[in-house]
Amino acid sequence: MDKKMYNRLGICDEVVNFSEKILSDLRERFDEIDETAEYNQLKVISAMQKNRVNATCFAATTGYGYDDVGRDNLENVYASCFETEAALVRPQITCGTHALAVALSAILRPGDELLSPVGKPYDTLEEVIGIRESKCSLKEFGISYSQVDLLSDGTFDYEGIKAAITEKTKMVTIQRSKGYQTRPTFSVTQIGELIKFVKSIKSDIICMVDNCYGEFVEKIEPSNVGADMIVGSLIKNPGGGLAPIGGYICGTKECVEKCAYRLSAPGLGQEVGANLGIMPAFYQGFFMSPTVVSGALKGAVFASRCYEKLGFKVVPGSEESRHDIIQAVELGSKERMVAFCKGIQAAAPVDSYVTPEPWAMPGYDSDVIMAAGAFVQGSSIELSADGPIREPYAVYFQGGLTWYHAKLGIMMSIQKLYEAGLIDRNLF
């Protein structure tokens, strides 16, 4: 590897040499990631072939979007790939939080209770649920909420969950990824065990999995282990970096139909919703997704090993199995968080000259710093890092449309900490 190109980008020889030593130990992990990516690539191709994807699927529609062949067939592709009865895949879903809000409000009715058996949800869902007061929250519509925190070792509190399920409990929401917490991400197998336990207590409970950041990380998805709905964003894993907007809900026919009525209007459902000419990006992004996810996973493992060697706590550890693309690094101070994010921003192809600063971002209860020079605004499958400015001052790194970009981002983050004297230079 020619150091000169890294030097040209502002990375010193010490950081380059450190990184190359780290990489020499990761070949076996990378081979495992590639094997999973190959399996998932074939799964996607199989779903596309089964549903006879052809050039007519890429045609643009406007207005009501009646008889949109490409839109309807894409939903069949998602349902086939994730092995569900139906799917809702729409550009009208603006983000992951929106997709989850649609799913929750479609299923829950006044007097029902929503249960989270995995502790607090992601920050932006707090206002959707009403944990933090907000207009039009579920709480305002008479829907109650309860949660059971994880045990100290990060596992499910089965006794607590059993006690929390009542006649009012209509729906269980399971967040697969860690969000802004330094807990482990749940494997699909763990999620399946939790769903089986919940349904053994109350069989008609609807189990929804927030699948954000987890698609194609493993060979199976939560829909393969009993989830009634899986929900995600197209500007994360399944969009492959090409989808400019959108979200999906895959699940039982009944659940998806209700979600479609909530997204558009009762009586209209999936019949309306023009694709506005972005079907090629949706199809091709889904096709590319397994490969893009594999690059992001390699970047996450590389980040984990690097920051372990530099003495920081990381979740997950570099030797642990991975179940999403997010890598948490506890940096211990605001200054280190800012330096890390400056490095990620400096490695970006877009807005590399911008300096990220913490700010009061809508939907969060503390200042948040975000670094992302993305082709699609807010795209978490592209190289990015963010985190709330609060203890334990953890930054959450994810994405990278290619492994090489993810590698550069981590090297640049180390460079910024190195330059600022915020890490021990004797380790290099």
pLDDT at 1 over 80: no
Cβ proximity of 384 and 370 under 8 Å: yes
Q: Which of 291, 339, 294 is nearest to 312 (CA)?
A: 339
- Residues paired with 371 in a beta bridge: 385
Q: Which of 94, 91, 98, 95 is nearest to 61 (CA)?
A: 91
- pLDDT at residue number 92: 98
Reduce the DSSP state of residue 170 to 3 states and report it. Answer: strand
Cβ proximity of 117 and 195 under 8 Å: no
Mean of pLDDT over the chain: 96
- Total count of residues recorded for the chain: 428
The secondary element (H helix, E strand) that includes residue 249 is strand 247-251
Q: Which of 93, 61, 57, 60 is nearest to 76 (CA)?
A: 57
Handedness of CA 25, 27, 30, 31 (dihedral sign): negative
Reduce the DSSP state of residue 230 to 3 states and report it. Answer: strand
- How much is the average pLDDT of 73-93? 98
How is the chain split into domains, by residue range?
3-41+289-427, 43-286
* pLDDT single digits (tens) 319-377: 999 999 999 999 999 999 999 999 999 999 999 999 999 988 776 778 999 999 999 99
Structure tokens at 167: 């006649």
Confidence bin at 229 (pLDDT 50/70/90): very high
Q: Which of 314, 369, 367 is nearest to 338 (CA)?
A: 369
- pLDDT at residue number 363: 66
% of the chain beyond a pLDDT of 90: 94
Structure tokens at 113: 């209770």
C-alpha to C-alpha distances, 224 to 109, 120, 175, 340, nearest whole angstrom: 27, 25, 16, 37
Architecture of domain 43-286: 3-Layer(aba) Sandwich (3.40)
Structure tokens at 413: 């983050």
- C-alpha–C-alpha distance, residues 271 and 274, integer Å: 10
pTM: 0.95
Cβ proximity of 274 and 103 under 8 Å: no
Q: Which fold has domain 3-41+289-427?
A: Aspartate Aminotransferase, domain 1 (3.90.1150)
* pLDDT single digits (tens) 118-168: 999 988 899 999 999 999 999 999 999 999 999 999 999 999 999 999 999
- pLDDT at residue number 122: 87
Backbone angles phi, psi at 177, to 5 degrees: -85, 170
* pLDDT single digits (tens) 392-412: 999 999 999 999 999 999 999
Q: CB neighbours of 155 closer than 8 A, spacing ≥ 6?
A: none
Confidence bin at 283 (pLDDT 50/70/90): very high
Q: CB neighbours of 179 closer than 8 A, spacing ≥ 6?
A: 121, 122, 123
- pLDDT at residue number 157: 97
- How much is the average pLDDT of 173-188? 90
- How much is the average pLDDT of 20-36? 96
Backbone angles phi, psi at 265, to 5 degrees: -165, 150
